[in-house]
Copies of this chain bind each other. A is one copy, B any other.
Amino acid sequence: MKKSIALAAFGIAAFSFAATASAQAKPEDQIKYRKAGYSFMSWNMGKIKSNLEGTYNKDQVIAAANAIAGIANSGMGALYGPGTEKDVGDQKTRAKPELFQNMQEVGRIATDFNAATAKLASAAATGDKAAVQAAFGEVGKNCKACHDKFRAD
């Protein structure tokens, strides 16, 4: 956990929750896993959007929000280790070099994002559509904050 502690000193603990050394994935796999996490969150964001725009199914929104919050708060910062700044093997990344040069800012966005997903899950549990709408908007804002700055088109 050395890396986690060191990065926490820079205020980016939420983003850098490192895996134990023995579980550290290879750079190619780190890219694969982080893309998988965002992809799966995206599917679930789409489901919530669809529920907000159409028939609202409380259970489906709860399930989708729990998946998003679970993924977001799983320690994805550990998937941005050395060697993952560019394509590796078959794994292509759209993360810009600027992301790796601004880890403090990325950490702040990630902290906000993680908190927003937890709020979305809490709102979903209440079944209050208006609360979910607001929380969903906040999550989306945080997605966009990172994409606009740190993800290539």
Contacts and interface: CB of A to CB of B under 8 A. Distances in A.
Interface of A: 1, 17, 19-20, 22-23, 25, 29, 32-33, 35-37, 39-40, 43-44, 46-47, 49-51, 53-55, 57, 59-60, 63-64, 66-71, 73-75, 79
Given A25-B43, A70-B67, A51 B20 contact: yes
Secondary structure call for the A interface: helix
Contact of A74 (B36, B49, B57, B67): B67
For A33, A53, A67, the residue with the greatest tally of chain B CB atoms inside 10 Å of its CB is A67
Nearest to A23: B50
A1 B58 CA distance: 13
A35 B127 CA distance: 29
A71 B43 CA distance: 11
5 contacts: A23-B49, A33-B39, A33-B43, A63-B74, A66-B69
A25 B68 CA distance: 17
Contacts of A33: 39-40, 43
Given A1-B57, A67-B74, A22 B44 contact: no
Given A36-B37, A43-B25, A55 B20 contact: yes
Contacts of A23: 46-47, 49-51
Contacts of A57: 1, 20
Contacts of A54: 20, 22
B73 A63 contact: yes
